[in-house]
Chain A
Amino acid sequence: MTQSEAPRAPRAPSWTLWLPLALFVLFVGGVAISLMLPKSTDINSQMIGKPLPTFSLRPAADGRPGLSNGDFATGKPRLLNIFASWCVPCGVEAPVLAELQRQGAQIDGIAIRDHKDDLNAFLAKNGNPYQRIGADDVSAVQLAIGSSGVPETFVIDGKGVIRYQHIGDIRAEEIPMMLAKLKEAES
């Protein structure tokens, strides 16, 4: 370096040089604290705590009746599973639903944008845990109850009120949790 190093401009007091570090420490501290705070991971659907909207769906598959909101006012909580034969994770979920049914859960289904033949084949291959299956050809009911994808499962209490929404497939390790949610919905 050949340029002169003589100080010519007035220099800022040296404590100002530590200011950026102080601000940064403040930032890291604040962020670290909020990282450690417990975060609620539940997705709070707008529909939780509200009764099912009015709907009436024709039967989607052979051998099972269709589905309407009136079917849920039975006094006993039920699972409402949103699925489709074209949905890959739904096939993965099928044995889990069968296990839930074996352990006493009552399950109804809504098939989204499905064809009867495809659905019959799907149920023949993966088993049929559903008591009723309604056909939702334009996703109208799906949207009305606040579901945006398949599979999704709702816990509906004995009065037809939505108590819990599970987004994505239910995994085997989540069976006890789902049963607990059903139990909860009894009260």
Chain B
Amino acid sequence: MKINSPLEVYKYLPQTNCGECGEATCMAFGSHVIDRSLKLEDCTPLLEDKYKKKYLELSELMAPEIREVTIGMGEHAVTVGGDDVLYRHQLTFFDQPAFALDVWDTMKEAELVERVTFIKDFKKFYVGRFLKLDMIAVRSTSGDPGKFRTAVSKVMETTELPLILCSFDPEVLSAGLEVAAKRRPLLYAATRDNWQAVADLVLEYDVPTVLFAPNDLDTLKSLAGTFLEMGRQDLVLDPGTNPQGKMLRESFENFLKLRRAGIKEGQRDVAFPLMSVPMTAYLTGGDAVSSSYWETVLATVFSVRYGDIMILHSIEPYALLPEMHIRDTIYTDPRTPVKVEPKVYEVGTPGKDSPVIVTTNFALTYYTVESDLASNGINCYLLAADTDGLGVEAAVAGGQLTGKKINDEFKKSDFDFSEKTSHNTIILPGLGARLQGDLEDATGLKVMVGPQDSGQIPPWMDKNWPPGKKV
């Protein structure tokens, strides 16, 4: 973004305070445009002919420093790029890195279908939603256009996930495009050697493309400039991902340099999404587990520092889970609140015999506990005690969660145990076990210590609930 204050945005707006965007004033709308929680297009009057010039000027000024590139069509389309800052705390990062898992055209058909099905269905619940994988990268290992076309077709029959077509041979890419062009795949890749023929394909089919110049930023910039000259904006840059040693360090530096040039120095001809290929970990000759581990390590490095698309090979859950979590970690919006409102929540439809469970108001802790309870059909009262957004262990260690505090919180919520429950019992989280005596003294109620992890509440309940249960 070239401008960063609501006042500057305001100058381009109709200034009528019409309220159509849902905000009371044009100034308020401007501040939401700046933090990118609203789009310019949400101001419908601005799209009218009389404001068209201002709209276009403002669009140009508000465009993110790193161009956004969309791959695929419809609801599965993936958009990458879009960043305006070098560090997430300066605003937030947009468009989390897309993870593409590979298949290859020498796979047996049944294996390919099984692998693609696994990739498209893999999911992990996390704070109210599922983490998932995004794309399929089809590699031509045969070098045969016919085989590639068949493999691409098979993948398309199996999933609607967007595709990356991978070959350095334009004839192979062309065969893939014949069947996949309508899905707007990403071409991989134009290089110093094949760029003219790949450019022909890009122009003919109007698809986004990766430019690949391993360990050579001059050539990468030359390729980008050349494709820009041809009017192509949908570009992704791959400076090469060396898997180890001093060359890995050089790859890391190249990502830093490209992103700094794009965001800090406004070098438009390199301000594109970056591709990293952690699967080069498999070129180092290690065994399957070491290679999978190392690929995860590389995916972590480039999720933290500026990779926008990754091509990955391992489908082991021990690789996929940390990879999906680290990108979520880096791309979660730091402006969203850490805390939920401290109060007693009802999970399901609790009655007098339902348990009363204590946790903290750290959003992550609360949502984890809440989803474990709800997913297992446990009706209960759940206190999110105000710990200033700390988890249980930290809050107990730091004195933000004490017996007195918990008692006060129930009182603040007007939660009367003798009226709401038949058991006068509180369940403490296992990590807060040391508060048991303290809480009994403060409340005069019976206090039980639950499991250390809320995922173990169901078996714990079977054993321990209702209180006094004989096993």
Q: Do A and B come from one complex?
A: no
